[in-house]
Amino acid sequence: MKGAPIVVVVGAGPAGVAAARRLAEAGLRPIVLDSGPEPGGRIWRNTGSGAQGLPRLPGHDPERGRHERARFVEWRERIAFYPETTVIDVTRGRLWALASSGEVDSTPWDRLIVATGALDRVVPVPGWTLPGVVTLGGAQTALKTRGCAVGRRIAFFGTGPLLYLAAAQHLAAGVEVAVVGDTSRLRDAVAAAPDLLADPARLRLGLRCLRMLRRAGVPVLRGVRGARIEGRKTVEAIVLERRRAFWRFSCDAVATGFGLVPQTQILDLLDVPFTLEETSGLWLPLLDRAGRTSIPGVYAAGDGARPLGAEAAAMAGERAALALLEDEGSRIDAGRVAQLETTLARHERFARALARAFPHPRVLEAEIADETVVCRCENVTAGDLRRAVRELDARDVSEAKAFTRCGMGRCQGRLCGLSAARILAAIRNVRLAEAGRLRSQAPVLPMPVAARRVPAEDAA
Amino acid sequence: MPFTIDGEPWYGRVGDSLLSAILAARSDLGPLAPDGRLRAGFCLIGLCQDCWVRLADGRRVRACTTELEAGMAVLLASDEAAW
């Protein structure tokens, strides 16, 4: 007799929670692991006592988060939820995780849904390692969960919808916004406008943020070509270059981001094939429409696979769970599948429009000055990378990593990998795909040397 | 909530992360190897590993994903802080 399969969901954000609920409904009792203290992920997490008394922020709905967390807790009997548990390694059939107690435990798995979310994509500019420079998502998290602003007067630099959303949220919270500097041009947004109507609600939110910024008299610079962050010990100003003119804005913090990078380390360890999406320059795992990878029993969903936002992530999570159930031989609701796929297709259309409205800057990385630090963990500069190409003939980022240590540090290239590839491709004058990608290594997040191994009950 | 930085007493709020509590008191976490540059966290969501700090009880923690606890004693002054 075949027992119930062991199903593990990594990540309890919108995608993981939706997947787990669907699996629980079908009686599978999934194991759900998340590094955070609560289900909900970054978007639906508890706003925390530090953030009480915060005014209503545009695009932020704490009620929704409460509702989603409560719905998840209702399933507690039928979902084995392990909070503060970070997956550090995985092989086909077994997975290792580090608990906050410092213990490492492992579990076998028959099927795995990876829903690990995304991190802001950053581009190194002079001064980006100064205290006071943070990611857009980091600034939002500090505001929404801690009720803290990362500065009194914050400059926002990068591109993408999050740039305006984060700036408007800080404005609404009473924080001064020094400037919004966007590397994309207004005509990019205008050209993409018809397709942005694929999601009128999000388009409206974006326009509302813009209006708030304009009304508050915040300078919004589009078509920014370069940036430099100044300060001795901490951020003192940002200088933005546009049309060969330099604009200096004094500020005590900078929030920066250029869209999102899926956190694909677990999929990479499992040797899921990746492909370079030319428009964004992101390496994305190959998936079918339902979220299946080409590795049997491995599924991916949410921003950790395709950055489409929280609503789409929840649907992708449910879709992946349905695929899993189908693969287990269960009958699934074809109507629901069609509904999810139609809505997901609309989200993908909207994401493509966003990518056209806020394209990744074409020259910013190619033109990074030699002395600018690219890898903040190992202190590797753009010049070090270029020397590795010129003098040591580094052909891709993996070779450059071996020669320079770029991407070998604590964050494992999460922050610098994409930029290093662009710098390499530019100086070798090859296509981005030829610059390759940094591969993930276990442990995918640092773990204490003193971490104790919990003896496995079942010797597998 | 009382805590200390290099022995000096400070107060954080309930709901602070260790990082937000420290950065309310000062602008950085001290120097970080290998180049000794000042750091203060960057991603604030547990991924960049730029905010590891040492506690007097021997623990090393990532400040952005660690809840502030009353009585925490953070050591920032020493050079090899977390690494």
- Domains of chain A (ranges plus CATH)? 7-119+261-332 (3.50.50.60), 122-258 (3.50.50.60), 373-435 (1.10.10.1100)
For the stretch B55-68, what's the b/e string if a residue is b when 16 or more beta carbons lie within 10 angstroms of its beta carbon? beeeeebbbbbbbb
Lowest mean pLDDT among A2-11, A212-221, A245-254, A322-331: A2-11
Lowest mean pLDDT among A46-50, A352-356, A412-416, A439-443: A46-50
pTM recorded for the entire structure: 0.95
For residue A296, give every residue at least 6 positions away whose Cβ sits within 8 Å of its Cβ, in sequence order, or none. none
For residue A300, give every residue at least 6 positions away whose Cβ sits within 8 Å of its Cβ, in sequence order, or none. A113, A114, A115, A264, A267, A272, A285, A287, A291, A293, A320
Q: Do B40 and A142 make contact, defined as CB atoms within 8 angstroms?
A: no
Convert the pLDDT of each residue in A74-133 to its tens digit: 888 899 999 999 999 999 999 999 998 889 999 999 999 999 999 999 999 999 999 999
Looking at residue A153, its pLDDT comes to 98
Q: How confident is the model at residue B83 (pLDDT cuts 50, 70, 90)?
A: very low
Distance from CA of A410 to the nearest CA of B (A): 6
How far apart are the C-alpha atoms of A459 and A94, rounded to whole Å?
12
Q: Do B16 and A234 make contact, defined as CB atoms within 8 angstroms?
A: no
How far apart are the C-alpha atoms of A456 and A104, rounded to whole Å?
10
Give the number of residues written for chain A: 460
How far apart are the C-alpha atoms of A62 and A407, rounded to whole Å?
36
**Strands A298-300 and A111-114: what pairing?**
parallel
The alpha carbons of chain A give a radius of gyration, in whole angstroms, of: 22
Q: Which residues of B touch A378 (CB under 8 A)?
A: 34
This complex has an ipTM of 0.93
- What average pLDDT does range A310-328 have in this prediction? 97
Looking at residue B4, its pLDDT comes to 96
The verdict on A141 touching B (C-beta cutoff 8 Å) is yes
- The pLDDT > 90 percentage for chain A reads 81
How many CA atoms lie less than 13 Å away from A234 in the CB half-sphere? 21
Nearest to A228 by CA among A201, A204, A251: A251
**pLDDT, mean over chain A:** 93
Residue spans of the domains in chain B: they are 2-75
Looking at residue A459, its pLDDT comes to 42
Residue numbers of B between 16 and 35 with CB closer than 8 Å to A: 16-17, 20, 23-24, 27-29, 34-35
Q: Which residues of A touch B50 (CB under 8 A)?
A: 376-377, 410-411
Nearest to A180 by CA among A141, A216, A143: A216
Q: Which residues of A touch B23 (CB under 8 A)?
A: 148, 150
Lowest mean pLDDT among A48-57, A97-106, A113-122, A422-431: A48-57
The verdict on B55 touching A (C-beta cutoff 8 Å) is no
Question: Is residue A175 within 8 Å of A226, Cβ to Cβ?
Answer: no
Strand order of the sheet with strand A85-91? A85-91, A94-99, A103-108, A452-453
Looking at residue B80, its pLDDT comes to 52
Looking at residue A49, its pLDDT comes to 67
Looking at residue A455, its pLDDT comes to 63
- What average pLDDT does range B50-78 have in this prediction? 91
What six digits make up the tokens of B68?
């502030």
Convert the pLDDT of each residue in A127-185 to its tens digit: 999 999 999 999 999 998 888 899 999 999 999 999 999 999 999 999 999 999 999 99
Integer CA distances (angstroms), A42 to A129, A155, A318, B18, B44, in order: 24, 22, 18, 18, 11
Which of A48, A141, A409 is nearest residue B44 as measured by Cβ atoms?
A141
How far apart are the C-alpha atoms of A387 and A379, rounded to whole Å?
15
- What is B2-75's CATH topology? Ubiquitin-like (UB roll) (3.10.20)
Q: Is A333 exposed, middle or buried (0-12, 13-18, 19+ CB in 10 A)?
A: exposed
- The pLDDT > 70 percentage for chain A reads 97
Which of A133, A146, A377 is nearest residue B15 as measured by Cβ atoms?
A146
Looking at residue B82, its pLDDT comes to 45
